[in-house]
Structure 1
């Protein structure tokens, strides 16, 4: 019976949706529309100096600290003035290093590798430990997996960070891993779309794109999202009148399995799982043809996804953490490859409200 349902839908000609297959994360056209900062994928060395205490206590959506970002491009160190603030309320409260929002003046960026990027997110580890640094790599891996699935994704780039924490007379230097995330405006421009701020219920979003997102969240074991309330999701509206969700912030997922991760209760909803390592499908019920289309896409992309995963392996400090992540993703494909498991864990779990 394995894959029998998929073959049936293929025979009926229901799997020809061009949205699934017409665009590739590696397409020449997409690369042309991607800024140099994210076209190049070697690890970018950067240096930052600021007071961590001041960053967490004094910055907010409108209040930034002025700093200088040093970066190494083509073997040479350069610098650029930036404004930075802490983001992510949960991590700000539970982690030593908060994730950061970085703003760069267009006039300063134009002669540097940051050209075309006025706003960036910089994801930092929760604390300086081997597991926390590998958690950064696992979250980065999640972004790279979604690049394989959908043309509507955030570009990312790994960075090695030398962070000098200003602590009065005794500054402290931390060497950690992190990664940069492009701004939603860049994604929208690349895909000829416009970002949306208003709430759009998932059932009013594009069926395929919404299911791709929900399958991905199931893949990484994440329930800390809501496309209805744009919690860890952005929306764009395309030129052909489709509303498309873009996922981000995966630190609460079972794939990352951060030390502070808890099962999310978005809008106060208590879920039936006890651990972030337990998968729970949170997508809405749709025509089964949609589920089968997206199921087949993921299965067709399995080898490409694992190529991405293997390519990231050298960035792990602990090979055991890599294998845990790899096995977690392998378990997702076992569900897709088994008709009974697919029916029980996805079809029957799909929400109606």
Structure 2
């Protein structure tokens, strides 16, 4: 009887120890996962160092072809060098800028245990031109991404970088220090929402109405016409739950808020410069327009405060000009007449034409 009693007790103790061990293992894994810092967990400027031939980058890469490139990263005071792949991307800036816009990616095994784990694919934005003030425009575009985070839940995460770049084509071999930022990959955004990115052209009128109108108001606020909901130009489309569709905006460099020397107005719109505003959203029920109007008015002080918060990224003249430019948008929102004339009565019809 004693033996019979002891054996079940021993089995119960063994089972209990096993359960505790499993629970401890999961808790330890969770603790380790929480302690591992990821790229977008910090707002601190990320320091990078890269030596590259810009000529080779342009000639040997394209939308589907990468080349290998080591990039050194300062992680909490320690420099680590990682093997990345890099390629050119984009159209206008690729043709017209000294520093081409790029994509970088890292193999899964190389990213393991680093801040790039889970964010192995990124867009890298650097200044367009060489010059003392070229970084100001990067700073202002970064601001546009951060302001967008204040008005919507559906956005690309970004992080500022300070890039020490040596162009191997330069005979002097001088190292330049450039302000830039990295942008989260499409698939990583979708993973955050347990969603997928659609490659199909989806009419804006069937996208989630509130998020879409918020997007359209924001594009008007920053004076951006370099986008299209109809053709998904500078806009990705994310599908959540197989039927709820959200717009994801990116590439704000051509907007009036940034106002770079190379800025051009979309040829399909009836304005002549990027610092003019035009509502490019489609017509919706006026009650929705009024809801989003109030949403932006509630965010006014935070949006204006963000311009001040990042003032080290641009000149005092830029700061003053941007505050004045954004203030004009809120003057319009606060006027019933201007709001009706500029948005409610000027929205686009389903065929893309304007109501005015």
- Please report the TM-score for the alignment, with normalisation by the length of structure 2: 0.86
Instruction: Kindly provide the CA deviation profile for residues 221-274 of structure 1, in whole angstroms up to 9, marking residues without a partner as x.
Output: 001101221110001011273110000001111111111111113xxx3x2111
Moved more, 126-135 or 283-292: 126-135
Among 35, 38, 41, the alignment partner of 1:36 is: 38
Among 97, 112, 137, the alignment partner of 1:110 is: 112
Gaps of 5+ in 1: 1-31
Instruction: Report matched runs for 1:1-353 at 5 Å.
Output: 36-167=38-169, 169-239=171-241, 241-265=243-267, 269=268, 271-316=269-314, 318-352=315-349, 353=351
**Structure of larger gyration radius:** 2
Question: 2: distance between equivalents of 1:122 and 1:165?
Answer: 16
Give the Å deviation of 1:39: 1.5
Instruction: Kindly provide the CA deviation profile for residues 13-52 of structure 1, in whole angstroms up to 9, marking residues without a partner as x.
Output: xxxxxxxxxxxxxxxxxxx8x9721120011110111111
CA contact (8 A) 2:160 2:182 kept: yes
Q: Structure with the greater relative contact order (CA < 8 A, sep ≥ 6): 1 or 2?
A: 1
CA contact (8 A) 2:108 2:117 kept: yes
Moved more, 323-332 or 161-170: 161-170
CA contact (8 A) 2:308 2:319 kept: no
Give the Å deviation of 1:111: 1.7
Q: 2:238 is paired with a residue of what secondary structure?
A: strand
Q: 2:306 is paired with a residue of what secondary structure?
A: helix
Q: 2:272 is paired with a residue of what secondary structure?
A: coil
Q: 2:329 is paired with a residue of what secondary structure?
A: helix
Supply the RMSD in Å over aligned alpha carbons.
Answer: 1.6
Q: 1:66 is paired with a residue of what secondary structure?
A: strand
CA contact (8 A) 1:166 1:172 kept: no
Instruction: Kindly provide the CA deviation profile for residues 185-228 of structure 1, in whole angstroms up to 9, marking residues without a partner as x.
Output: 11111122211111100111111111011001101100110122
CA contact (8 A) 1:35 1:115 kept: no
Give the Å deviation of 1:113: 1.2
- Please report the TM-score for the alignment, with normalisation by the length of structure 1: 0.86
The residue aligned with 2:20 is none
Question: 1: distance between equivalents of 2:160 and 2:246?
Answer: 26
Question: 2: distance between equivalents of 1:46 and 1:64?
Answer: 19
Residues 253, 299 of structure 1: CA spacing in aligned structure 2 closer, same or farther, 3 A cutoff?
Answer: same
Q: 2:164 is paired with a residue of what secondary structure?
A: strand
Q: 1:80 is paired with a residue of what secondary structure?
A: strand
CA contact (8 A) 1:126 1:132 kept: yes
Residues 63, 240 of structure 1: CA spacing in aligned structure 2 closer, same or farther, 3 A cutoff?
Answer: closer
Please list every run of at least 4 consecutive aligned residues from structure 1 whose deviation after the TM superposition is greater than 6 angstroms. Answer: none
Q: 2:310 is paired with a residue of what secondary structure?
A: helix
Question: 1: distance between equivalents of 2:130 and 2:319?
Answer: 18
Gaps of 5+ in 2: 1-33, 352-356
Question: 1: distance between equivalents of 2:118 and 2:227?
Answer: 29
